Amino acid sequence: MTPPEAKTVAPAQDAPGASTGSSDLRAPLYVAWQVTNECNLACLHCIEESGPGKAFRDELDDSEVFEVLRQLMEGEVPYLSFSGGEPMIHQRFFDMVEYVCSRGGQLKIETNGHYLTGENCQRLAELGVKAVQVSMDGASRETFNKMRVRGDFDVALAGIRRLHAAGVPIEINYSPTRFNMHEIGAAVDLAHELGAYSFYTGRTMYTGNAVKTWRLLEPAEAQYETYFATLRAKTDEYRGRMRVYYHEMGLLEELRYRLQNPAALLIVLPNGLVKLLNALPFVCGDFRRESLSDIWARFQRGWEDQRVRQFVDDLATDPNKTSALHQWVTL
Amino acid sequence: MKLAKYTKFREENFGGVLFETRSEKVYSLNPTAAAIVREIVPGIDEQGIVERLRARFEDGGGALEAEVKAYLGSLRQLGLLED
């Protein structure tokens, strides 16, 4: 008998399965679903251009939503996330959470933290979500409220405290800009104080709302150097107590890596279209017309498509190509 | 003995994968490893796993029991298995 062996085939990444050789898998390992583009906030940097009144006209209806969920659960996709927009705005949000959790799926909710009432936190705890990730782009009211237009630092903070009280695992996400980078150390400390078990950050992308607000947001490279140095120190400081994940890699490096190592990850848009990756404009499927297995096959072929490679190559000379990620290209 | 709370198992043509969703690490399993984890999922104990595997695999030199034990130990060490 061959000795049993478990080996790590993918380092911890934001996209799990990054090095698994996704073509060997019979289904994705992770589906990141933007369940609606509607949002109560209008954040300066929102990569989805979400905001009040920004729901897509053609978002999936209830029966279509649950048909997608049925396929994902029957396809044994082990890990899902619901994001948006603001996912907790979706009128069937808790029904969707219950559907996944009651069938053994592990589910992460990515929220701005403004709907984390005591009752909602309790329901999330009872339903057994794997984690709730809250965006906290600032360690102070001043920076948070500047970034998260219509948002309120104190509301988000109170929501996170209620999550912790309910026993829901907490992750914090932080998007750096020129006006909040200096708070990164305090933000990591705050995340730990709030009971988070993970803290995520990286480089803010030039896309979505950030295209219009870039002059307010764009960090200088020197700022990034200080930023990541602080994060290295905080990683050591909190080792064993809270995981601090940060991606120093720029988008071009990231995409070149992905071309060689596609993550076993599907990005599902509110209208059921499926993207290769958030940072690419390419669509490789449509849940309204295709099954999960067909989409998974198209996803594999998509990563081999010359247009994808060309886009990444062109990005080297024209970094502003990311400004058009919402002009989808069907592969 | 059971898979840890945030660990999911899925069978694949090459064997299987264990996905630890908190660290977001994926572990690739060969067919033998997948055969062991398949028995863990419904709650079979260590001795039961050995007996079931003996019925399916040749136990050359009686090494199977030690191999299963070592493998379960490695899963525990990685935080993928809990008692």
Tokens 């984890």, residue? B37
Report, as an integer, the average pLDDT of A250-278: 93
Domains observed in chain A: 23-330 (3.20.20.70)
Q: Which residues of A107-143 are buried (b: 16+ CB within 10 A; e: fewer)?
A: bbbbbbbbbbeeebbbbbbebbbbbbbbbbbbbeeeb
Contacts of A170 in chain B (CB under 8 A): none
A233 contact partners, CB below 8 Å, separation of at least 6: A185
The residue range of the domain holding B36 is: 2-82
Cα of B12 to nearest chain A Cα, Å: 6
* Cβ distance of A29 and B14 shorter than 8 Å: no
CATH number at residue B22: 1.10.10
Task: Give chain B positions within 8 Å (CB) of A104.
Answer: 8
d(CA B14, CA B29) in angstroms, rounded, equals 8
Residues of B in contact with A197 (CB under 8 A): 22
Specify the pLDDT at position A19. 43
Among A243, A145, A231, A218, CA closest to A186: A231
Q: Where are the alpha helices (DSSP H) in chain B?
A: 31-40, 46-56, 64-77
Please report the sign of the dihedral spanned by the C-alpha atoms of residue A203, residue A258, residue A279, residue A61: negative
Q: Mean of the pLDDT values across residues B49-68?
A: 86
Mean pLDDT, residues B50-55 taken together: 90
How many angstroms separate the CA atoms of A115 and B52, rounded? 50
Q: Is A240 on the interface with B (CB under 8 A)?
A: no
Note the pLDDT of residue A254.
87
Question: Which residue on chain A is closest to B69 by alpha carbon?
Answer: A4
User: In whole angstroms, what is the distance from residue A260 CA to residue A18 CA?
Assistant: 10
CA dihedral A305, A34, A149, A250 (to 10 degrees): -30
Rounded to the nearest angstrom, the minimum Cα separation between A317 and chain B is 33
- What's the token pair of residue A136? 């906290």
Q: Does A4 touch chain B (CB under 8 A)?
A: yes
CB contact under 8 A, A264 and B26: yes
| Residue whose tokens read 């907790």 | A88
Nearest-CA residue of chain B relative to A5? B33
Return mean pLDDT, chain A.
92
Contact at CB, B12 and A14, closer than 8 angstroms: no
pLDDT tens, A16-58? 333 456 778 999 999 999 999 999 999 999 988 999 999 999 9
Confidence of residue B61 (pLDDT cuts 50, 70, 90): confident
Check CB contact under 8 Å for A130 and B70.
no
Chain A residues within 8 A of B70 when measuring between CB atoms: 3-4
Cβ burial, residue A301 (10 Å; 0-12/13-18/19+):
exposed
Taking CB atoms and an 8 Å limit, are A2 and B74 in contact across chains? Answer: no
Whether A9 and chain B come into contact, CB under 8 Å, resolves to yes
Percent of chain A with pLDDT over 90: 82
Query: Are A11 and B25 a contacting pair at CB < 8 A?
Result: yes
* Strand (E) or helix (H) holding B15: strand B15-20
Nearest CA to A162 out of A202, A199, A124, A128 is that of A124
Q: Tell me the backbone φ, ψ of residue A244, rounded to 5 degrees.
A: -110, 110
pLDDT at A294 > cutoff 80: yes
Within 10 A of A199 (CB to CB), how many other CB atoms are there? 27
Q: Check CB contact under 8 Å for A6 and B74.
A: yes
Confidence check: pLDDT of B42 > 70: yes
Partners of residue A16 in chain B, C-beta under 8 Å: 19, 21, 24-26
How many domains, chain B? 1
The Cα of B35 is separated from the nearest Cα of chain A by a number of Å equal to 9
Alpha-carbon distance A37 to A87, whole Å? Answer: 8
Helix count and strand count (H, E) for chain A: 11, 12
Indicate if ipTM > 0.85.
Answer: yes
Look up residue B68 and give its two tokens.
């299963």
**A11–B80 C-beta distance less than 8 A:** no
Q: What is the pLDDT of residues A168-198, one digit of tens each?
A: 999 999 999 999 999 999 999 999 999 999 9
Tell me, yes or no, if A243 comes closer than 8 A to chain B by beta carbon: yes
Beta bridge partners of residue A243, listed in sequence order: A198
CA distance A261 to A320: 24
* pLDDT, tens digit, 9 for 90 and up, residues B64-80: 899 899 999 999 999 99
pLDDT tens, A204-222?
988 888 989 999 999 999 9
